Amino acid sequence: MNSQSFANITISLPVFMVSLIVGIQPLPNQELAASECRLAKWNLPPLANNNKKLPVLISRQPITCCQEDISCLDQAIYDDKNDQIADKKALLQSIDYSLKYLQTQRAIKAYQKSEITRERVIQSLQRFRQLLIATKSAPELHAAIEKEFVFYQSVGRDRKGTVLFTAYYEPLYLASRQPTKEFRYPAYRYPPDLESWAKPHPTRLELEGADGLQSSKGKLKGLELFWFKDRLQPYMIQIQGSGRLKLTDGTQTTIGYAGNTAYNYRSLGRSLVDDGKLPLEGLTMPIILDYFRKYPQDLNIYIPRDQSFVFFQETHGQPAQGSISVPLTPERSIATDKSLMPPGALALIRAPFPYINKSNKMEYRVVSRYVLDQDTGGAIKGAGRVDYYLGTGDSPGERAGVTVSNGQLFYLLLKPQN
């Protein structure tokens, strides 16, 4: 990225991830060209309404593409001209990351109580990888998958398969290794004695004070890792889980998640709505940004309301990593609730996502993407939530901030051998 891009980032407020925005309505399902290709075709059929606990994933036949419905195909894999979307090489790399994870003791333990076996996930990834290399077009790949794979659809939020999609990214900020009058707000390393801290853990307010500058008086003293100009910046990195830093000495580095205190995350947007500062209806990112530009002192009220606190470690330029300890791939990695979903597995997502067009304006397109389930998040709970990783920096941040839409989530597994 050029120096002008860095300058643009350092002089502006950071872009809010959609998890800071509550009450924004998901985009309506967009109608496709043919009536039989409307989004309803992708929904689960009505499920029996009884007292039995439903499985989270329901097996079903692959969804055949309708005529002229290109939204059911992952065309980005074969689009060599579009370098902003992860291509076949990136998808292959992401598959290899999952396969590497699935050989670990951690993966073996994670699948011990799962109805989906680790071996089946591995075999499915290996076969999909072969098909990905062998096929020359999106329709050819889709046809091969229809023939060999079973789709397991998430029941979603409504038992009809509706999943709410948001997105996240890796922020890029200017930072300093030393505190100065300009760089005052720290991000912190993992406390070596955190395991011995009495519970309930200290809250964010108790750890860093209302203004975020009181850490030297408590348990965070000496744990400062990097300093930032804007208080929102280290807080945003806590939400995103990692960050890429351009340092004042001209070098670059990265920081990644190392641990957290035992509290649930509470969004700024939720607090603002609860206090009547902003209306729930029509709440958007520009409105929230504008509010804090007008009332920066209110950060001292609303940031402390999020009692959770995240710690970091310097990762020296490594890519952002997911919860299964593999690098995240832009537009090919997702975060789900790992108490429900199979870690490292191959999935297909379909939903409206924002893209920046040639006129530098945001537009939404219904797309399908093959992805790997490689991460989780504090706000990603239940079968009806997916967070989509978009990459590093300004453009992914802008897109992540306006990603909020309903769609579907499918896991792809090889058909059982007779």
Same domain, 337 and 280: no
Same domain, 264 and 280: yes
Residues 125 and 191 in one domain: no
Q: Are residues 175 and 310 in the same domain?
A: yes
Strand order through the sheet with 252-260 = 185-188, 224-228, 172-176, 242-247, 252-260, 310-314
- Token digits of residue 166: 């948001």
Residues 72 and 126 reside in one and the same domain: yes
| Structure confidence at residue 172 (pLDDT) | 95
Helix (H, G, I), strand (E, B) or coil at 27: strand
pLDDT at 269: 84
Name the helix (H) or strand (E) containing 35.
none
- pTM for this structure? 0.85
- Residue 208, both tokens: 């860093």
| CA–CA distance, 298 with 272 (Å, rounded to integer) | 10
Any idea of the CA torsion for 77, 82, 85, 87, to the nearest 10 degrees? 30
- Exposed (0-12), middle (13-18) or buried (19+): which is 353, by Cβ within 10 Å? buried
pLDDT, position 5: 29
Q: What CATH number is attached to the domain comprising 94?
A: 2.40.40.10
Query: For residue 51, what pLDDT is reported?
Result: 54
Torsion sign over Cα 310, 312, 318, 324: negative
DSSP 64: P
Q: Which amino acid, residue 80?
A: D
Q: Is residue 119 part of a domain?
A: yes
Domain boundary among 298, 314, 330: 314
- Within 13 Å of residue 229, how many CA atoms lie on the same side as its CB? 15
Burial class (CB in 10 A: 0-12, 13-18, 19+), 173: buried
Specify whether the CB–CB gap between 344 and 324 falls below 8 A.
yes
From 383, 330, 303, 396, select the one nearest 58 (Cα to Cα): 383
Residue 13 lies in a domain: no
Domain edge (last residue) among 282, 314, 346 = 314
**pLDDT for the residue 63:** 73
Specify if 11 maps to a domain.
no
DSSP-derived 3-state class of residue 364: strand
Is the residue at 256 inside a domain?
A: yes
Calpha distance 188→29 (Å, rounded): 42
pLDDT at 8: 29
Q: Is residue 28 part of a domain?
A: no
Distance CA 153, CA 268 (A): 32
Asked if the structure places residue 24 within a domain, the reply is no
Residue 27 forms part of a structural domain: no
CA–CA separation, 374 and 328 (whole Å): 7
- Number of domains observed in the structure of the chain: 2
What is the model's pLDDT at position 7? 30
Which residue's structure tokens are 């400062």?
224
What does each of the 418 residues of the chain score in pLDDT, given as a tens digit? 322 222 322 222 333 334 444 434 444 444 444 555 555 667 787 765 655 677 899 998 777 776 667 788 898 888 665 544 447 999 999 999 999 999 999 999 999 989 999 999 999 999 999 999 999 999 999 999 999 999 999 999 998 899 999 999 999 999 999 999 999 999 999 999 999 999 999 999 999 999 999 998 899 999 999 999 999 999 999 988 999 999 999 999 999 999 999 999 898 888 999 999 999 876 665 677 788 889 999 999 999 999 999 999 999 999 999 999 999 999 999 999 999 999 999 999 999 999 988 888 889 999 999 999 999 987 899 999 999 999 999 899 889 888 889 999 999 999 987 6
Number of Cα atoms under 13 Å in the Cβ half of residue 321 = 18
Any domain includes 220: yes
Q: What's the pLDDT at 2?
A: 28
Together in a domain, 186 and 300: yes
Checking DSSP bridges between strand 172-176 and strand 224-228, what pairing results, if any?
antiparallel
The answer to whether residues 158 and 271 belong to one domain is no
d(CA 59, CA 44): 10
Predicted local confidence at residue 253, as pLDDT? 98
Sign of CA dihedral 50, 56, 58, 59: negative
282 with 203, same domain: the answer is: yes
**What is the domain-level CATH number for residue 229?**
2.40.240.50
301 Cβ contact partners less than 8 Å away, ≥ 6 residues apart: 210
Q: Both tokens of residue 312?
A: 């970091």
Structural domain including 344 reads 57-168+322-414
The CA distance from 129 to 333, in Å, is 16
In sign, the C-alpha dihedral spanning 168, 172, 175, 177 is: positive
Let me know whether 155 and 184 are in one domain: no
The pair phi, psi for residue 387, each rounded to 5°, is -110, 130
Question: Does 334 share its domain with 302?
Answer: no
Cβ count near 260 (within 10 Å)? 17
> Of 312, 166, 183, which Cα lies nearest the Cα of 244?
312
Which of 261, 286, 314 is where one domain is finished?
314
Give the distance, in angstroms, between the CA of residue 212 and the centroid of all CA atoms in the same chain: 26
289 and 200 in a single domain? The answer is yes
312 burial level (CB within 10 Å; 0-12, 13-18, 19+): buried
DSSP assignment letter at 352: E
Residue 330 and residue 347 share a domain: yes
